[in-house]
Structure formats: structure tokens, C-alpha cells
Structure 1
């Protein structure tokens, strides 16, 4: 409701300025006809300059208003695009814990059936988060990119080129095109 009232108030301000400009133009025309005969062109020049100044003010105000509208629209789009960022960030440790739990080996049939159930829950949670725009950052055997990876360790593997990620220690995630958490990796020297 407040945003609509702000827009209405700004429209009123612009309308008031337009009315004021029209009133000054009419009064300038009346004055200029009377004063041309008596005082010459000096007053006409003065009023013409005032009119130009007011027109410049009006144009600046209009440009400021258009810039404001554009900024508000961009902010609103960004807010809508990244609306789920906080909740997704808070759920990343849950995904990590699920991954750790699912990496354990099942020793009995009971544990195996429980692991199957946990895997189903994990997959459902992951699908729901992906529907919100969560994307896992691929790291292993990729070139190290400081925009997406955080180097925690280095190692020298002569079989692989320098700057290649050897191991992913913690998964990283994106929300659409924004990094929520970089991947923690081990990089080849």
C-alpha cells in the first residue's frame, strides 16, 4: 500500500509542477506583451531565461523520477529472484549432514532399509531446493575458479595439470547465478 501511495504522491508533485509551469508561461506571455512596448526586450529576455531554468528543473525532476522508478523495479526483481536465499543458506548444513549420513555403509538389513528411507528423504529435499533455484557447484577435476571454489589445501599430483581441483571437501551451491557457498577444495599445485 505504501508504494502505491508514494507513486501517487510523486504523480501529484509532477502534476503540481506542470500546473505551476503553465501558470508562469501564461503570466509571462501577458507581461511580455505589456512590457515590450514600455521597457523593451530586457524583461522579455529575463522571463525567457526564467522559463528555461524552470523547464530545466522540470526535466531534471522528470529524469530523477524515471531513474527512481527504474531502481525500484530492479530492486523488486532482485528481491523476487533471490527471495529464498536465507532459507536455502540455513538448509545447506542439513544437506551436508544427509550426505555424510548416506556415505556410511549399512551393516545389517535394518540399517540398509533405514538408509534407503533417508536417501528418499534426501532426494525429495534436494528436488524441492532445486525447484527454488539451488544448483550444486561442480568442482572435482575442474579448473580452480576463485569465484566458485575456496582452496583449503594444495597437493602435488604429477599426473594432473596445475590448477585442477583434486578433491571436493565440502560441496558448494549457487542460487540461480549467485554463490551461496563456495566449494571447499584441494587444488593441484
Structure 2
């Protein structure tokens, strides 16, 4: 980027330098013109004035191009800073998305009931591992989206079923079918829910 900027600046400076040199030459010619008849002076001045106007237009065009290049460079610079900031803020999104199916599996396994002591011990170990994974994800800004008992919000929830329960409020979530997650302020996956009419 800096090489491109330097090249653009050099081109703009060269054009500006040429225009200034031509202006100086015209001014020198105007001062060194020998006195002749009035009509010849008028013709010479008009030609010199035309040349001066052309050079001024070239200089204006070069300055305009230079300012546009400078504005373009500033826009690219701002865009790169914004992209770097977003990449830094959401750097753990891909790993979180990859872990969601495993978290769903853990959740289903933890929801099972068992009378066996061995199964209870296994479930306790799974709860510990699940807790550690969730703690690591929460440290990166990943958190579960609250759903059950909440009002339906299309930004965070995906309604896949409707319920007709008169004891619940309208648009209240009555069941969470799949847990949703967000990373800071960005939804990774919306919650799949059943909503009361």
C-alpha cells in the first residue's frame, strides 16, 4: 500500500513540478518580449495568456488528482483498520462454530437419566468437561442465548414450531429445541424454539 501511495505522490509531484516550470517559463517570456507594435504585443499576450490558462488548468487537474488519490488512500486505510479490528474481535468465531455440534452432543448426553452408579459417574465427568469447554468459550466472549420463558426475538431465535398455551403470554418461548450461541454482539447460531401464539 505504501509503495502505491509513494508512486501516486511522486507522479502528482512531477506533474505539479512540470506545471510550475512551464508557468515560470511563460512568465519569463512575457517579461523578455521585445517591444513591438501594439497589435503584435496583443497577439503575443493573448497566446501567452492562453498558454498560462492551459498550464493553470493542468495544475488544477494535477492537484485534483492528487487530492483524490490522497482521499482514496485514507479510505483504504480506514477500511483496513476496521477489518483488522473486526477480525481481532471475532477471531474465535470459527472455532466456536466448529465446537457447536460437540456441545449439542454433550447437552443431549447430560439430559439423559440413569439409575446406574457407573453411568452417574460418567455423566459427572462429562459435566466437568462440558463446564470446562463452556468456561473457555465464555472467556473468548461466546455465550448461550437465553430462550426458555423469554419473548421471541427474531434476531436471536428461530421459531420452528408454534404452541397454543393459554397460560403463557403471546410470543413467549415455551420450548428450546436447540441452544443458540452468540459471540459478543454477533449471533453464531440462533436458538431453535417453539413459540406460543
TM-score normalised over the length of structure 1: 0.89
**Superposition deviation, residue 118 in structure 1:** 1.0
Residue number among 127, 131, 143 corresponding to 2:151 in the alignment: 143
Greater Cα offset, 30-39 or 117-126: 30-39
Corresponding pairs, count: 183
Partner of 1:3: none
Partner of 1:11: 5
Contact residue 165 and residue 186 of structure 1 kept, 8 A? yes
Greater Cα offset, 32-41 or 170-179: 32-41
Partner of 2:58: 50
Residue number among 20, 31, 43 corresponding to 2:14 in the alignment: 20
Partner of 2:74: 66
Partner of 1:110: 118
Greater Cα offset, 58-67 or 77-86: 77-86
Partner of 1:39: 45
1:30 aligns with 2:24: yes
Larger CA Rg, structure 1 vs 2: 2
Give deviations 1:122-155, integer Å, cap 9, x for gaps.
1001111111221111111111111111101001
CA separation of 1:35/1:142 partners in 2, compared to 1, >3 Å: closer, same or farther? farther
Residue number among 101, 109, 123 corresponding to 1:93 in the alignment: 101
Q: Find the aligned partners of 1:83 and 1:182 in 2 and give their Cα distance.
A: 19
- Segments of structure 2 that go 5 or more residues without pairing to the other structure are 34-43
Q: Find the aligned partners of 1:187 and 1:35 in 2 and give their Cα distance.
A: 87
Large movers: runs of 4+ above 4 Å: none
**Superposition deviation, residue 163 in structure 1:** 1.0
Q: Find the aligned partners of 1:134 and 1:10 in 2 and give their Cα distance.
A: 40
Q: Find the aligned partners of 1:75 and 1:23 in 2 and give their Cα distance.
A: 37
